[in-house]
Structure 1
Amino acid sequence: MKKFALTGVLVLTLFSCKTPSNSHSSTAITVKNNISDEQLLDKVQKDALKYFWDYAEPNSKLGRERYHEDDIYPDNDKHVITTGGSGFGLATILVGVERGFVPRKDAVKRLTTMMDFLAKADRHKGAWSHWINGETGKTVPFGKKDNGGDLVETAFLTSGILMVREYFKNGNVEEKALAKKCDELWKGIQWNWYTKGGEKVLYWHWSPEYQWEMNFPLQGYNECLITYILAASSPTYSIDAETYYKGWTRNGTYLSDKEKYGLPMYVKHNGAEEYGGPLFWTQYSYIGLDPTNLSDKLIKNYFDLNKNQVLIDYKYCLENPKQWKGYGPNYWGLTASYSRNKDGSVGYDAHFPQNDHGIITPTAALSSFPYSPKESMDFLRFIYTQKPEFIGSAGPYDATSINYNNWTTPRYLAIDQGTIAPMIENYRTGFLWKLFMNAPEIQQGLKKLSFQSPKYGIK
C-alpha cells in the first residue's frame, strides 16, 4: 500500500473486496489476564514475526504485500512483494534472531536468499519499484505511470539492508558474505539521480517509460525523512546538505508554532496540520533512525516531535468528538490501514484525527511503544486479553472497530505488521537504533546534514 502526504493532499491507493469481514476460520484464543508485560511483548513480537517468516513469498522470501486469512487476494497477487514492507521485515527478522525466536543460521540462509533476489530484480537507477514479482524479479506497476523506481520504498528497504549488514559484518564466513551482499546493494542506489537533474529536492518516482511524470517532490513533513538521511549518507551517489534543507524542510518553512492539547507540533504535517498525520509518520523513518535527543538546524528533538504526535492522536481518541463506541485509554490509534467502507466492504484509508471513521489500527499504538509506553501497553493488554476476535495467526489484524459490532478483517499488510516488532524492540533495548546509528556512513551523513546525536557521538 502507498501511504503518503504531499503538499497538503493525502495520496492513497484504494481497493474494495466485497466479502464478509469476519468470515475467517482462525480460532480466537484469549490470553490470560495475569500474563506479564514482558510475556505480552514477547508474544506480540513473535506473532508479528510470523508474517515475514511463515508467510513470506516462497521464492524470494521477501515480504508479500498482503496476507489474507480469508484467502481473498485482489488481482491474484500472492507473489507480489512490497519493497518497503520487506525492509521492515528484515528488521523484524533481526529482532527474531536477537531474541532467539528463529535460529541465527536459518536466518542467515534466508536473508542471503533475499539479497540474491534483490541483486537480480529490476532496478531503476539503482532503486527498486514499489512492488516486485517474487517469482521473476520484474517490476509490478503500482499504477500506470508508477512502473519504475520508488525512492521512498527503496529507503525503507535500504534501512533494513544496512541493519542486516551491521548485524552480521563481523560474523562467520557465511555471515560476512551476507554483509558484503548487503553492502553492494546499498552502494548501487543512485540517490542523486532522483533530484531530477540537480534540483535541490528529491523526487519519489522515476520511470524509464514515463520519466518524471509522477512529479512528487519529497517535502516535509511526513514519513519520508529517512530517504534524505540515506541519500546524504551514500558513499557512492550522495546528495548535499542544501538539498535536504531546501527540499525536505522547504527552506525551513515546514516549521510550525501550533499546539494541540497543549502539545507543540513543531512542524506542519502535510495535509494534517491541526492534529498531525497518521501515526506511521512517527514510525517508518525511525525503525533505524534513533530520534532520542536527535536534532538538526531546525528541530531541537525529534523524539519530542514524534512523542507529541502520538500523544495528540491518543488524546484525540480519548476526547472522541465523533463518539465512536469503544474509543478510550485502552483502545486508540489512527493510521493508514485496511478500512471499512460505508457499504461494509473492506477498503483502505489513511486514518488520522481529521479523517477518523471509527477504525482503530493496532499497529498505530503497538508501534508507538518508544513514545507512549504506558498507553501502548494498555492497548496491547486490552486487545490480547479482551478482544481475541481481533487477533489472528500473525498477531492483531490490520484494522478493527468496536463501534461496528467488533468488526475486523482477517487480513494483514506487510507495511503495518512490519513496524510492530522493531519499534517494540527499540523501546525494550534500542537494538535496531544502535545498529543503524553506528553504521559509519550514517554517522557521516548525519554530520553532513548538521544533525547531532550525543548518544552516538554525532556532534
Structure 2
Amino acid sequence: MRRIIWSVAVASLFTISCKNNELKKAENAQQGVVKSNITDDELLDRVQKDALKYFWEYAEPHSMLGRERYHEDDIYPDDDKHVITTGGSGFGLATILVGVERGFISRKEAVKRLTHMMDFLEKSDRYKGAWSHWINGETGKTVPFGKKDNGGDLVETAFLTSGILMVREYFKNGNVEEKALAQKCDQLWKGIQWNWYTKEGQKVLYWHWSPEYQWEMNFPLEGYNECLITYILAASSPTYPIDAETYYKGWTRNGTYLTNKKQYGLSMYVKHNYAEEYGGPLFWAQYSYIGLDPTNLSDKLIENYFNLNKNHILIDYQYCIENPKQWKGYGPNYWGLTASYSRNKDGSVGYNAHFPQNDHGIITPTAALSSFPYSPKESMDFLRFIYTQKPEFIGSAGPYDATSIHYNNWYTPRYLAIDQGTIAPMIENYRTGFLWKLFMNAPEIKKGLEKLSFQSPKYGIK
C-alpha cells in the first residue's frame, strides 16, 4: 500500500469509519492480557508468533501470498480482500523462514506453501521481469496502484526479491522438494531486468515502467530513503546488472546526499529526502535491512551503515521523549513514528507517513518493534509496555497497525503487510542474525557489494 512519501503533507489513501470500537476495546482487553512477569525471550517469541499469523493464517487464500491488508473489523475499500502486495509478500517470505527456524511452523508445510507462492509469481504479470505493486491473488493480473502506476514497480520487486533470495539460500541444500523450490526462486531472480529500469542507460534507476505509460511516472531512485536494497540487488544480478557508476551517480546523487547535520548530538550522515531535520519514517531503517546486514557495513561514502540506522532510530526516540507537541502517552515506553494507518481529524481511519516533521500523535508499533537491532533496550521497553499494559492495542496478529494514547487509547483494528512483515525478521536479526547471514552469504550478493566498493568484514567482503 505504501508508495514513497515525497512530501510532509501526505494525503490519506482512504477514509473509513470504524464500527463498534468500544466493544472491540473491551474484547481485546480480555483476550490480550499478558502477565507482567513474562520474560524477555517469552515476549519476543510471542510477538514473532503473532506477526507470523498475518502471513500464515491470514494469507490471500489462492496465491497464499501476503494480503495488502487484514481488517478485524471486516471493512475493506472496494472489496479488495484478494489484493496482494509485492513488497509486503517479500517481508512475509522472511517471516515464514523465521517461523520455520523457530519451530513455529513445520519445514515440510512451509516448503509446500512457498512452492505454491513461487509458482503463482512465475505466472503473474511481469514487466521486464519486475512485478507490479499490487497483484490480484486470484488471477495474477496487475491491480493498478494508480492510473499510471499499472506496470513494473522496481522497489516493491526488490523487497520481494530479497525474500526470494533468502528462501533460495535456506533450502538450496535440502531434500528434493527443497532443492526444487530453491531452483524456482533462482529462476525468478534471474528473470528480473534491473538494467532496463535505467531508462535507456541513464546512470540512475527508475521506480516504474509501464507498457502503456512508459516512463511517465518519472520517479528516479535517489537517496536517502528506503530504496538502497534496489541498487544492491540490481548490482548483484547475474543476468541484468547495473554498474557501480549508476549507484554512485544515481543513489548517492554524486555524493551530495551526505550531511554533517546532527540532531540530539547524533550524526545523521545522510540527507533524508524531505525530512532533513530529524530523518524520515523509521521504515527507512528497516526495509532494506531485512537481509542486508548493516553491521560494520561501509562503502566509499558511508563509514558504518549500522550507525546511520541506529542514529535515525534514536533521533526518533529522543524526539518522542522530548515530545514538543505534548501528545499524551509519548515517552520511553511508547514511541516510534513511521508510515501506517492513521487517525484523521474527524476520528476516521486514514493513512499517513509519520515522522517528527509530520507528527500527529500516532504511534505505530512496528516502528519500535522492527528497530530491535539498533535499539534493543528501547524496543524491549516498548514491547513490554504494549503487551502488558495496553492489551486493547493487541489483536489476533499482534499489535495493531496504529495506536494513540492521546486520543483516548484510540487504535484501528487493522493490519498492513508492509508493517507487520518487518517485525519478526528484524527481531530475529537482533536475536540471531539469521536472515542477515542467509542474504549476505549469497554468492551474487557478495560480488555485487564488492562491485559497489562495499566492505563487510563479517562476511569477507572487501
TM-score with structure 2 setting the length: 0.98
- Cα deviation for residue 22 of structure 1 reads 5.0
Equivalent residue letter for 2:35: K
Residue 157 in structure 1 maps to residue 156 in structure 2: no
Q: Tell me if the contact between 1:4 and 1:12 (Cα under 8 Å) persists in the aligned partners.
A: no
Shift in alpha-carbon separation, 1:355–1:293, aligned structure 2, 3 A: same
Which amino acid counterpart does residue 16 of structure 2 have in structure 1? C
Deviations 1:1-41 (A, max 9, x none): 124145x6676662110224556465532100000000000
What's the counterpart of residue 223 of structure 1? Answer: 226
- 1:47-86 paired onto structure 2 within 5 Å: 47-86=50-89
Shift of 1:172: 0.1
The aligned counterpart of 2:283 is: 280
Q: Residue 90 of structure 1 aligns with which residue?
A: 93
Residue in structure 1 matched with residue 420 of structure 2 by the alignment: 417
The letter of the residue matching 2:41 is: E
Alignment of 1:437-456 (within 5 A): 437-456=440-459
The answer to whether the Cα contact below 8 Å between 1:90 and 1:160 also exists between their aligned partners in 2 is yes
Quote the residue 1:2 is aligned against.
2
Find the counterpart in structure 2 of residue 235 from structure 1.
238
> Offset of 1:296 from its aligned partner?
0.2
* Contact 1:443/1:458 (8 A) holds in 2: yes
Superposed displacement of residue 188, structure 1 = 0.3
- Per the alignment, residue 257 of structure 1 pairs with 260
Structure 1 residues 11 and 219: alpha-carbon distance in aligned structure 2, compared to 1, 3 A threshold: farther
Give the 5 Å matches for 1:20-419. 20=19, 21=21, 24=24, 26=28, 27-419=30-422
Alpha-carbon RMSD = 1.1
| Secondary structure of residue in 1 paired with 2:341 | strand
The change in CA–CA distance for 1:74 and 1:22 in structure 2 (over 3 A counts) is farther
Question: Which shifted more, 9-18 or 47-56?
Answer: 9-18
Check the 8 A contact 1:4/1:11 in 2, yes or no: no
* SS at structure 2 position matched to 1:81: strand
Structure 1 position 18 matched with structure 2 position 17: yes
2:432 paired with 1:429: yes
Instruction: Answer yes or no: is the 8 Å Cα contact 2:18–2:73 preserved in 1.
Output: no
Per-residue CA deviations over 1:90-123 (Å, capped at 9, x if unaligned) read 0000000000000000000000000000000000
Q: C-alpha separation between the residues in 2 aligned to 1:245 and 1:445?
A: 14
Mapped contact 1:3–1:12 kept (Cα < 8 A): no
- Cα deviation per residue 1:40-91 (whole Å; 9 max; x = unaligned)? 0000000000000000000100000000000001110000000000000000
Structure 2 letter corresponding to 1:4: I
Deviation readout 1:137-179 (Å, 9 max, x if unpaired): 0000000000000000000000000000000000000000000
Q: Distance in 2 between matches of 1:195 and 1:228?
A: 11
The question of whether the paired residues in 2 share the 8 Å contact of 1:265 and 1:305 is answered with yes
The verdict on how the C-alpha distance between 1:99 and 1:108 changes in structure 2, with shifts beyond 3 A counting, is same
Q: Deviations over 1:361-395 (max 9, x none)?
A: 00000000000000000000000000000000000
* 1:400-430 superposed Cα distances (whole Å, 9 cap, x missing partner): 0000000000000000000000000000000
Range with greater deviation from structure 2 (327-336 or 23-32): 23-32
Distance in 2 (CA, whole Å) between partners of 1:451 and 1:23 is: 53
Cα distance in structure 2, aligned partners of 1:390 and 1:250: 41
8 Å CA contact retained: 2:10, 2:352:
no
Name the CA distance, whole Å, in 2 between partners of 1:438 and 1:115. Answer: 22
CA distance in 2, matches of 1:22, 1:217: 45
Give the count of matched residue pairs.
458
> Which letter maps to 2:276?
E
TM-score by length of 1: 0.98
Q: What is the identity, as a one-letter code, of the residue corresponding to 1:195?
A: T
Q: CA 1:97 to 1:73, structure 2 compared with 1: closer, same or farther past 3 Å?
A: same
CA deviation after TM superposition for structure 1 residue 273, in Å: 0.2
Using the aligned pairs only, state the percent identity: 86
Distance 1:183 1:45 in 2: 27
CA distance in 2, matches of 1:23, 1:282: 36
Q: CA shift at 1:242, angstroms?
A: 0.3
The 3-state SS of whatever aligns with 2:4 is strand
Structure 1 letter corresponding to 2:113: R
Report the Cα distance in structure 2 between the residues aligned to 1:412 and 1:74, rounded to whole angstroms: 14
Q: What is the alpha-carbon distance in structure 1 between the residues aligned to residue 294 and residue 167 of structure 2?
A: 20
| SS of corresponding position for 2:31 | coil
Q: Distance in 2 between matches of 1:165 and 1:419?
A: 19
